[in-house]
Structure 1
């Protein structure tokens, strides 16, 4: 064990020494393999791009929209963003060098310049552009930049192309003397693929309300870091910001404040924005726990709203869970899911039904249950999950749950159900 530890430390120190002894690079995450040279290339807006042999007209700020768009549109948007990062949002890397060293390392503006003039992109596979299930997207890519000013990207999927474009944009810095952009590392050869299939964040927009720009900025950050999932925890006992046109009273009474909501247009924008950046959106409406806020508009379907002491009835206040034996619950959930699921299904194969932190003691306050006996509650919970997941499947989606459903409550779920470890919550 000691020898293994020494080898690990030596390997780390060797890696740091190698990094320190090579030209500054900012490729992130570190690619599977990368080789670089010491030639300087320049880049500007006059870049000719082809996609599978055809000219790809690109533009800054291009954003595909709608519930379906093609691989070429996704790539076109990716090229515009990559070039925007290089020529509009780049930085002078003074902080990456020792003090007062930048000007001695920058390329001389007065010397002849070789510009990157062509970027040829080849996608070898046919995308499942929308709704890929886990493991279906090959995100690998190869990026080459020659000293002759020609660059190539090859990838199996449009998502792989996006990851390559991200690495391409990270090769360049801005010159301290103005709007000139260069790399000192040509020729470049990168071969890369992700180590993990699921790389994402959970974004809770219910306990804390976030404006749209914050959500979109987070999706941008995921794309910059080549991550591929955003899990939107859309509702909770604290607030209901998600507008459901079939049940408008939910957000009208459950939002933190007027206007602190996400319209159907907002939700579509979030999902389109994510898919366009190789990030799969997963929407969660947690049930049967974390549902207390619905009591403000539908008191007959919620047990123990705002009950005290909260420590006896829920993980955090205000408490409130869906009643498990109330006839009004099924029509309510039918209407809720018939509204939200068709607005989710174009963009993702999954819908997250929650299931975490169901407090059995709460059901002593449920007039339709009246006990915390698991022998009574578990069969009711099983019936609830079976019905709820049937709604998800009917919409052509795969149910997701937190691990407590099978692991803590002994509820059986279908073989298709994706079980998410609670450590991610």
Structure 2
């Protein structure tokens, strides 16, 4: 019989794991894992639960100490909180009942989700081996993964599910020894969730559909994210997405170790968000009265994200991009749906902006924020007030202003932003704005405000030079809607000059371009600490539930690795696409098995035979 310590020649060409950890060492020992593997969850100061018969032999308090400079590094006496057996994973989870999310909720969900990923949605890796490869035989198994220890080294902060950037430690240490004992240690429940995600990526399904194994033991991973804010922005106003469509993106975000989900929920074209205090807003402003997100839907999505260590940031864009309000309260909107020369007054039709010097608008926003923000604050520490693409010409048609003169408009915009941000702070939230408010309108922002950039690397440098924290997302690289061609119809009179009908941000931004981004580009070293992360953006003029998955993924995964692992490798070089390509292909397969319709980046010929599809590769 062949020993499980035998160094097998069928090892995958890929060493798994996306995004790339800081430190990852692995061997070539095969270990199988069975559905009845037990998870033991320990935490500092926890009371042992269950009967003595249910407890593991090492249930007595123990001390864990890390010798790593990265990741969990405290010495704590830990006690068993909970033991999970196979029957534990059949529990009906009532996580959507309570208000808010605790660290305990996050760990419980992560353990159960990891078990399901391992045994229900795992990957048979034929695409990553040569033809007629020799996969490991379960009959050769003498040792398997026998137990998984989850070690939470510190009590979670109260805001663990809704932190400000940098307030929760997402680092973790993962170890799997040749004897089959796995440990995942972290300083927070979110770190535990990240470690469990990596654990699932070490395992593959056997062709017999009954067995699961890793070919990588022993494993030691020390890991932590480079950037504090790592997200995707999804526009759900230009096209309608069901709650299930949105949750699927959250699942993909979490599996890529992203931690922010930006929901751009209202815009000019529709207002799908129900506001009970303003019932006609969605009833008339949505595309149809039934295409709305109810308060229960909003809570469900926010909680579903938070329980996976993903904080949802809700955006109501204003004062521009608000023409959908006209359908319920036309007196609040200036320059509504100007035709045919709409491009004089807005970035895209239908035009419309909140009036800038209106007491009625002020009262409307009081009601809106008083209704909505208390339903945001249990799940997030942020609220996005928009502020992009405000066209000054629209205020020529605003009967409260009647001017497009910056000298007239700027003080009014300052007052508008100040009032909104005071409302946001009063609800215990931190404001987020688009870059134009700072860089084009010269609004003086509070020192707490996060400024989201989208137009250029130079804009990021300007934001941090002024002392503000910045989010990157240059449309030339991280706008995922670019390259599909013009969505506007072209009149024959200008058709020839528009040919071949490119959109404004063409070409299509492939994963390699997204992967090449350095969030610090052009930012002096002394200001780089203010670049707290970034987001890729999915604007949806031409995207709906049919194609949204493949539009975001796996290009969003490329962004995720830049933001988790950083743009440079350990030697300070740009990260290698040669290294990334097979790992990203594997991540794509795993996303598909999780129910996400991610598109392929290469054909199996390339991933099966290693170095067959490189261009200009010299082997160095």
> 1:140 offset after TM fit, Å?
0.7
Q: Does 1:34 align with 2:24?
A: yes
Residue in 2 that maps onto 1:151: 182
Residue in 2 that maps onto 1:234: 265
> 1:35 offset after TM fit, Å?
1.0
> 1:199 offset after TM fit, Å?
1.0
Equivalent in 214, 222, 225 of residue 191 of structure 1: 222
Which secondary structure does the structure 2 equivalent of 1:46 belong to?
A: strand
Higher RCO (CA < 8 A, seq sep 6+): 2
The 5-angstrom pairing of residues 263-302 of structure 1 reads 263-302=294-333
Residue in 2 that maps onto 1:107: 136
Task: Check conservation: 2:12, 2:129, Cα contact below 8 A.
Answer: no
Distance in 2 between residues matched to 1:130 and 1:192, nearest whole Å: 20
Equivalent in 188, 203, 207 of residue 238 of structure 2: 207
Distance in 1 between residues matched to 2:167 and 2:94, nearest whole Å: 24
Residue in 1 that maps onto 2:34: 44
Residue in 1 that maps onto 2:433: 401
> 1:22 offset after TM fit, Å?
6.7
Which secondary structure does the structure 2 equivalent of 1:72 belong to?
A: helix
> 1:24 offset after TM fit, Å?
3.6
In structure 2, do the counterparts of structure 1 residues 23 and 151 end up closer, same or farther at CA, with 3 Å as the change threshold?
farther
> 1:267 offset after TM fit, Å?
0.5
> 1:168 offset after TM fit, Å?
0.4
Residue in 2 that maps onto 1:12: none
Distance in 2 between residues matched to 1:236 and 1:71, nearest whole Å: 34
The 5-angstrom pairing of residues 24-423 of structure 1 reads 24-52=14-42, 53-54=79-80, 55-57=82-84, 58-59=88-89, 62=93, 64-65=95-96, 66-101=98-133, 104=134, 106-127=135-156, 128-308=159-339, 309-423=341-455
Which secondary structure does the structure 1 equivalent of 2:36 belong to?
A: coil
Distance in 1 between residues matched to 2:224 and 2:37, nearest whole Å: 26
Deviation string 1:8-64 (CA, Å, 9 cap, x unpaired) is xxxxxxxxxxxx987643211111111111211111221222222313334257462
Deviation string 1:330-367 (CA, Å, 9 cap, x unpaired) is 11111100111000001111110001111110000101
Deviation string 1:252-271 (CA, Å, 9 cap, x unpaired) is 11111232111111100111
Which secondary structure does the structure 2 equivalent of 1:116 belong to?
A: strand
Which secondary structure does the structure 1 equivalent of 2:138 belong to?
A: coil
Q: CA RMSD in A?
A: 1.6
Distance in 1 between residues matched to 2:326 and 2:237, nearest whole Å: 15
> 1:149 offset after TM fit, Å?
1.5
Q: Which runs of 5+ in 1 are unaligned?
A: 1-19
Distance in 1 between residues matched to 2:397 and 2:285, nearest whole Å: 22
Runs of 4+ residues deviating >3 angstroms: 20-24, 60-63
Q: Which runs of 5+ in 2 are unaligned?
A: 1-9, 43-78, 456-472, 474-536, 538-620
Task: Check conservation: 1:56, 1:76, Cα contact below 8 A.
Answer: no
Distance in 2 between residues matched to 1:22 and 1:249, nearest whole Å: 57
Distance in 1 between residues matched to 2:192 and 2:181, nearest whole Å: 17
Distance in 2 between residues matched to 1:256 and 1:348, nearest whole Å: 28
> 1:111 offset after TM fit, Å?
2.1
Instruction: Name the count of aligned residue pairs.
Output: 403
Distance in 2 between residues matched to 1:197 and 1:401, nearest whole Å: 18
> 1:325 offset after TM fit, Å?
1.3
Which secondary structure does the structure 2 equivalent of 1:147 belong to?
A: coil
In structure 2, do the counterparts of structure 1 residues 325 and 24 end up closer, same or farther at CA, with 3 Å as the change threshold?
closer
Task: Check conservation: 1:64, 1:74, Cα contact below 8 A.
Answer: no
More deviation in 29-38 or 124-133?
124-133
Which secondary structure does the structure 2 equivalent of 1:220 belong to?
A: helix
